[in-house]
Amino acid sequence: MFGKKTHLSMLESRKRALLAESEVNRIELLKDFDALKMEFTRVKKNLRAAGSIASTAALVAGAAALLRRRQTEPEKMKTANHTKASWVSAALNGAQAGASLFFKVRSIMRQRR
């Protein structure tokens, strides 16, 4: 009878130790999840800022390309062939200018950090 009682109390103490360890692991998992959530929020904030900069840069580049195109149209109309520039080429030029502006702004922002 003495052996049975010791065996049960060993199992009982082992069970309690496992439950305590499980609780500690659960708390650590929640802390890790909170840290991951905070990191995700930080990355999302940075991506929004970069997207905002890229959007603004694309708008500025598009407007600059449109203004540049409008300034060169009267000169083209004076020529004999009267060919008009394609809107696709104007859009590509605007996108190219916007991309270069975006990369320049991004490198400046990285240097500031």
Domain residue limits, the chain: 2-112
Sequential pLDDT tens for the chain (113 residues) = 455 556 668 888 999 999 999 999 999 999 999 999 999 999 888 888 777 777 777 777 777 777 776 655 555 555 555 556 677 777 777 777 777 777 777 777 777 66
What is the Cα–Cα distance from 109 to 49, expressed in whole angstroms? 11
State the pLDDT at residue 54.
Answer: 76
State the pLDDT at residue 94.
Answer: 75
How far is residue 11 from each of residues 3, 20, 25, measured CA to CA in Å? 12, 14, 21
Amino acid occupying residue 95: A
State the pLDDT at residue 26.
Answer: 96
What is the Cα–Cα distance from 64 to 56, expressed in whole angstroms? 12
Would you mind telling me the total number of residues written for the chain in this entry? 113
What is the Cα–Cα distance from 31 to 39, expressed in whole angstroms? 12
